[in-house]
């Protein structure tokens, strides 16, 4: 892991022993840093074969294909953002890898991503969905509700057979204690241009992007130590000024997410020697009393997140949140299970509740 992290960062290191190449490649794949690792090797003037053996040819082919697909998707994203930006007050913002690929990586194709995350104004989400449908996007069947979910997925296959996947968010997270850390309005007021994706493209400021990188890694991926996400944090930390760090501390304290931020920064520092000021780490301190601190653990269960959210809500919203989890819209149940009758709908509601309970209490049930 540390050899791989050093390579990704750009440190000149010796390749693994021949009998360790396969393990090293699998690790690079697992942590989604295979492309940038191969690119670093080439930049240092080394032979990729010395690191990845017979897989070097495949990596070169993947690199070329990734660059082409990335170019097509970038053009599509630019068009999508123009359409959304034309909707009054929607103010689309690129999140996570979709923005960082262009602002912090040498080439955007080096930062793999399964979809493009876009944050829009909560009040304008429906017109955004309609605009995407008019552009040929189909919404993926999913549950819905005012409290249980804050994003919707859309896909479109173009004339080249390339899949374009979008995740449209109106809050930064589904979990209530994380979502309240930053609103769309706040993030939009501090947003910055992403020129590579056209005049309508805007992303988060570096401090906001760092906050979100720390929150997403923990709250949506069970405190994952995936190197790609930690490298994102490292790249963002490298650019923060003293004023940026002060602002980050203020936002983290106000949003009660200091423990989650400290954990992300600590891991990035451990693997990439990220330049995080010691006084920042001290100020983030031991905040285990924060509601969001449950996410600083790989053993957190879905029910732990639910209980944390319930404590953060009023009684009326607590009842609503539980109801939305137990009884998603009938259209979703019918679509997911291919149901036609009302009787079968009731049976599948009961089945969903009974079979879903173990997952909520299992540490491996996270999603």
User: Which pLDDT tens digits describe the chain residue by residue (367 residues)?
Assistant: 999 999 999 999 888 888 888 899 999 999 999 999 999 988 888 778 888 877 888 888 888 999 999 999 999 999 999 999 999 999 999 999 999 999 999 999 999 998 999 999 999 999 999 999 999 999 987 777 788 889 999 999 999 999 999 999 999 999 999 999 999 999 999 999 999 999 999 999 999 999 999 999 988 888 889 999 999 999 999 999 999 999 999 999 999 999 999 999 999 999 999 999 999 999 998 767 888 888 988 888 889 889 999 988 899 999 999 988 888 888 777 777 777 777 678 888 888 888 888 888 887 655 5
Whole-model pTM: value is: 0.92
Q: How far apart are CA 89 and CA 150, in angstroms?
A: 18
Domain residue limits, the chain: 205-295, 302-360
Asked if residue 332 lies in contact with residue 142, where contact means CB atoms within 8 angstroms, the answer is yes
Pairing of strands 163-169, 192-193: unpaired
DSSP line for 95-140: EHHHHHHHHTSSSGGGS--SSEEEE--GGGHHHHHHHHHHTT-EEP
Q: How far is CA 23 from CA 32, 126, 229, 238, in A?
A: 14, 46, 21, 30
- Specify the 3-state DSSP secondary structure of 263: helix
* Terminal Cα-to-Cα distance of the chain (whole angstroms): 24
- Specify the 3-state DSSP secondary structure of 310: helix
Position 88 scores a pLDDT of 93
DSSP line for 31-79: TT-HHHHHHHHHHTT--THHHHGGGHHHHHHHHHHHHHHHHHHHHHHHH
Handedness of CA 215, 216, 222, 225 (dihedral sign): negative
DSSP line for 131-178: HHHHTT-EEPP----TTT--EEEEEEE-TTS-EEEEEEESSS-SSHHH
């Amino acid at each position: 892991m540390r050899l791989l992290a050093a390579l990704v960062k750009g440190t000149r290191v010796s390749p693994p022993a021949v009998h360790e190449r396969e393990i090293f490649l699998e690790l690079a794949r697992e942590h989604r840093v295979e492309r940038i690792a191969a690119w670093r090797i080439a930049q240092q003037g080394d032979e990729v074969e010395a690191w990845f053996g017979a897989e070097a040819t495949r990596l070169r082919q993947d690199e070329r294909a990734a660059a082409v697909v990335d170019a097509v998707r970038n053009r599509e994203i630019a068009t999508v953002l123009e359409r959304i930006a034309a909707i009054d007050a929607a103010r689309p913002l690129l999140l996570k890898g979709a923005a960082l690929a262009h602002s912090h990586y040498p080439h955007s194709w080096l930062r793999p991503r399964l979809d493009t995350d876009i944050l829009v104004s909560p009040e304008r989400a429906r017109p955004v969905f309609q605009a995407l449908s008019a552009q040929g996007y189909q919404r993926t069947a999913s549950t819905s509700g005012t409290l249980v979910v804050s994003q919707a997925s859309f896909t479109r296959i173009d004339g080249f057979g390339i899949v374009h996947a979008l995740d449209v968010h109106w809050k930064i997270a589904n979990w209530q204690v994380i979502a309240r850390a930053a609103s769309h309005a706040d993030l939009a007021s501090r947003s910055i241009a992403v020129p590579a994706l056209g005049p309508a493209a805007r992303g988060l400021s570096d401090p906001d992007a760092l906050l979100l990188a720390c929150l997403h890694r923990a709250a949506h991926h069970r405190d994952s130590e995936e190197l790609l996400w930690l490298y994102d944090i490292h790249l963002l930390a490298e650019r923060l000024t003293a004023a940026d760090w002060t602002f980050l501390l203020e936002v983290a304290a106000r949003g009660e997410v200091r423990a989650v931020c400290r954990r992300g920064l600590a891991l990035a520092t451990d693997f990439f020697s990220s330049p995080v000021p010691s006084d920042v780490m001290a100020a983030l301190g031991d905040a285990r009393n924060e509601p969001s601190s449950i996410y600083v653990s790989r053993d957190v269960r879905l029910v732990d997140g639910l209980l944390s959210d319930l404590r953060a809500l009023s009684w009326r919203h607590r009842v609503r949140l539980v109801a939305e989890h137990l009884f998603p819209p009938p259209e979703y149940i019918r679509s997911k299970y291919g149901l036609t009758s009302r009787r079968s709908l009731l049976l599948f509601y009961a089945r969903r509740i009974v079979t879903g309970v173990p997952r909520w209490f299992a540490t491996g049930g996270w999603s």
